Structure 1
């Protein structure tokens, strides 16, 4: 059975979302302002931590990365951290749509 998890943060006027769909194939997507900027697909549960990179639009563009990790806790199996300009921001989990 597939499970879905979603993490979201607002950063510098931009929306950053990470969606995870687990199952026989695990898919992870990084959305910036609603547009897919990075995608990772692996059979099984994958290897963690997983880091995806993108950039925030602007002059100059601002690089960002998100690090997704397994927690080992059944109630919250993943944690997600957004890194922008060398500063880390935990991304709260939200109800997957």
Structure 2
């Protein structure tokens, strides 16, 4: 059975979204301001922890990373953390599309 997860956070006027579609193949995409900046695909239910990197389009560009980890909880099996500008921010889960 395929499962979907979506995490979203607005930071410094920018939108950061992580979408995960897991099943036989797990696809993870990182969107910054609605544009795909990183993508990971693996056979199986995913390899965690997983880190994807991108940058915010500011001058100078600001690097960011998102880290996905298994929580072990049945209700929310994945957690997502945004690392930007020296801070780690938990990204809340949204209803997957």
Q: Same fold (TM over 0.5)?
A: yes
Superposed CA deviations along residues 66-93 of structure 1, whole A, max 9, x for unmatched, are 0000111110010000000110000000
**Structure 2 alignment gaps of length 5 or more:** none
Offset at 1:46?
2.5
Give the aligned partner of residue 85 of structure 2. 85
SS at match of 2:68: strand
Q: Aligned-residue CA RMSD in angstroms?
A: 0.6
**Structure 1 alignment gaps of length 5 or more:** none
Runs of 4+, deviation exceeding 4 Å: none
Aligned 1:16-55 pairs, distance under 5 A: 16-55=16-55
> Does 2:7 match 1:13?
no
Alignment coverage as a number of residue pairs: 97
Superposed CA deviations along residues 41-83 of structure 1, whole A, max 9, x for unmatched, are 0000232110000000011010000000011111001000000
SS at match of 1:59: coil
Give the aligned partner of residue 63 of structure 2. 63
